[in-house]
Amino acid sequence: MTLIFRTIFLASALCLAASQAQADITIGVDLPLTGPAAGLGIPCKNGLVFWPESIAGEKIKLVVLDDASDPGQAAKNARRFISEDHVDVILGSAATPAALAMAAIAAEGQTVQLAEAPVELPPGKDAWTFRLPQSTALMAAGIVEHMKKAGVKSFAFIGYSDAYGESWLKDISRLASEAGIKLTTAERFARADTSVTAQALKAIASNPDAIVLVASGSGAAMPHLAVVERGYKGKIYQTHSAASNDLLRLGGKSVEGSFVISGLAVMPEGLPDGHPSKKLAVDFVQKYEKHFGPGTRNQFAAHTYDALLVLQRVVPEALKKGRPGTQQFREALRDALENAGEITVTQGVFRYTPKDHFGLDANARMMLTIAGGNWKVVAP
């Protein structure tokens, strides 16, 4: 009996060890594939095409869910990832309100969230959330810098009435005030709104030198058309969530001459040759356009590709402390992110630390203008 018991015990132990050795790295991907933010989510999903089947010898299992641009659905998806799929990493959402809803659940489940939106969280509430896009403060500083050089003394704000719009209003108001640039009015609208006529009229009536529009994807064209069609002739600025060909396609001639603060993957050819991200970004957009067609490049797909580059850097370190599917592995991933040093990606160089889960600096942004229906880099 003792021999039989030992044999069974040994066989069970070997089976357990084999199952642990073959554990997949499970990644829950939540994106707005339908709804108002689909213009962000679909390109992000497209970026998964370029992911390999494994990282550091461990097979990747992707669980992709649609949050329909709804924070409530995003929260449900995040809970499913943790309780049912037992994911090692959550990737998403690309919509700020949805990513914000997921952050609390990621923290509760002690699971790393690689957010594809520049979600702002109170100090101490982002222990498990790391961002892939540039922060609003970083990009707002780029707009204010351009305003100062262009002699802008006042600006109006028209933006989303959600977490993304609120973050932008807070940051650009503060930075502009510090630069001596006056905010004339702040007008808000919902992502699902089909008209911003009233907001456009109020903004124009405040007689600003410039208007800052805060919207995303295809939704960024609507407020732009509204102010131009009502005769506004001053400078117009858009944020990095508007840096897609949807703005060019839907805006047409009305968006000519406007400015968009952008990540690097829209026009990486315009980066200096010595920029650490130039080769990676150019290679990615060429690969992306070969697969999806000319003119399809966008920074949202690049965020998903950058997530891969980040994981390729930190997963080997995490595997030294735990196996996929375990709390030890999830904690090791977080620690590796905070201590990895420089991680060069298409959109810049991440330098995550325990106090900074954005990790990007001014080298991760560029100012673009629209000329002849295409993007053009604005010289520094």
* One pLDDT digit (tens) per residue for the chain, 380 residues: 444 444 444 444 444 444 444 579 999 999 999 999 999 999 999 999 999 999 999 999 999 999 999 999 999 999 999 999 999 999 999 999 999 999 999 999 999 999 999 999 988 899 999 999 999 999 999 999 999 999 999 999 999 999 999 999 999 999 999 999 999 999 999 999 999 999 999 999 999 999 999 999 889 999 999 999 999 999 999 999 999 888 999 999 999 999 999 999 999 999 999 999 999 999 999 999 999 999 899 999 999 999 999 999 999 999 999 999 999 999 999 999 999 999 999 999 999 999 999 999 999 999 999 999 999 999 77
Dist. CA 347–CA 303, nearest whole Å: 8
Q: How many domains does the chain have?
A: 2
Pair 92, 142 in one domain = no
Please report the pLDDT score of residue 5 as a whole number.
Answer: 42
Task: Kindly calculate the radius of gyration of the chain based on its CA atoms and give it in whole angstroms.
Answer: 22
In this prediction the pTM is: 0.90
The boundaries of the domain holding residue 243 are: 136-262
Dist. CA 128–CA 321, nearest whole Å: 18
Pair 116, 11 in one domain = yes
In a domain, 353, yes or no: yes
Pair 171, 242 in one domain = yes
Q: Which of 239, 262, 285 is the last residue of a domain?
A: 262
Pair 57, 106 in one domain = yes
In a domain, 271, yes or no: no
Please report the pLDDT score of residue 22 as a whole number.
Answer: 52
The CATH number of residue 76's host domain is 3.40.50.2300
End-to-end Cα, the chain, rounded Å: 80
CA distances to 6, 85, 206 from 37, in Å: 58, 25, 30
CA 255 from centre of chain: 23
In a domain, 335, yes or no: yes
Pair 90, 27 in one domain = yes
3-class secondary-structure state, position 118:
coil
Q: Which of 244, 262, 280 is the last residue of a domain?
A: 262
Dist. CA 267–CA 252, nearest whole Å: 19
Dist. CA 134–CA 263, nearest whole Å: 7
Dist. CA 178–CA 27, nearest whole Å: 42
